Homo-oligomer: A and B are copies of this chain.
Amino acid sequence: MVARVTVLSVVDAIADDLRRRVLSGELGPGEALTEAEVASRYEVARATAKASIEKLVTEQVLVRSNHKTARVVQLGPDDVRDIYRSREYLEAEVLRRLARDRSVPAASREANEEIGRLWQAEVYDVVDPDMRFHTSLIDSLGSPRTSRMYHSLTSEVKLCMAQLQGSQRLSPAIIVAEHQRLLDLICAGRGDDAATLLREHLGRARELLVEALGGTPGPEATLAPSVLSDAPA
């Protein structure tokens, strides 16, 4: 095994900082970022600033068309629906595969326990460990490309969160219970039921986000949470 250290180029370092500022809400949706501004703020040449901006454009953190100045991406209701639909597609099949092998990732268990621990703390931020729960499911497959695809979605989810700070959150109690139920279904080899529960789980979060963004709720009726019950298959 080769030991690896990461040497950040200036371009990467600036891109990282800009990404952080967008994700933290310091740069709001639609905000303009000219190359000259970035260059002077970080005291680098315009070419360097340009490269950083273009990197974030390919990551979909910024948007820009020819000869126009880059802006922080603005996610609308349709984007949120699409992001969550794509999450469902990928994650559902992963759950089926895990259920087939009855393989419950330890990292997922731990992430869910963490949500449970900070459940009754004064201020809790459930987003981060929640994300870890889902990504650890994906990552447990050991498929770099699948993980990479899912990562591009989670980064957009984080962007959603950043763009509606202060909106009401889902109850951590429900989240923890559903996560646990997902793991149980995997352990029981019930892939279809896990996929169905995942649809409800993600669907609820999605509709909350869509509503918070001012969109009208989707047409699909909330499914009866049949698989949440403990009735044997």
Query: Which A residues form the contact surface with B (CB < 8 A)?
Result: 7, 9, 47, 51, 54-55, 58, 66, 82-83, 85-86, 88-90, 92-94, 96-97, 141, 143-146, 149, 152-153, 156
CB-based contact A83/B145 at 8 Å: yes
A62 to chain B, nearest CB (A): 14
CB-based contact A86/B146 at 8 Å: yes
Our pick among B7, B9, B149, B152 for the contact of A86 (Cβ within 8 Å) is B149
Copies in the complex: 2
**What residue of chain B has the Cβ atom nearest to residue A55's Cβ?**
B58
CB-based contact A7/B66 at 8 Å: yes
CB-based contact B54/A85 at 8 Å: no
CB-based contact B51/A82 at 8 Å: no
- Per the bound structure, the CA–CA distance linking A47 and B51 in Å amounts to 10
In the complex, chain B residues whose CB is within 8 Å of the CB of A152: 145, 149
Our pick among B51, B143, B149 for the contact of A54 (Cβ within 8 Å) is B51
22 contacts between A and B (CB under 8 A): A9-B66, A51-B51, A55-B58, A82-B144, A83-B145, A85-B143, A86-B145, A86-B146, A86-B149, A88-B93, A89-B90, A89-B93, A89-B94, A89-B141, A89-B143, A89-B146, A90-B93, A145-B152, A145-B153, A145-B156, A149-B149, A149-B153
A interface secondary structure, majority: helix
Interface centre among A51, A89, A92, A141 (most CB of B within 10 A): A89
A86 to chain B, nearest CB (A): 4
- Per the bound structure, the CA–CA distance linking A83 and B9 in Å amounts to 29
In the complex, chain B residues whose CB is within 8 Å of the CB of A144: 82
CB-based contact A143/B93 at 8 Å: no
CB-based contact B51/A85 at 8 Å: no
List 17 other contacts, CB 8 Å, given A83-B145, A86-B146, A90-B90: A7-B66, A9-B66, A47-B47, A51-B51, A55-B58, A58-B58, A82-B143, A82-B145, A82-B146, A85-B143, A85-B145, A86-B149, A89-B141, A89-B143, A145-B152, A145-B156, A149-B152
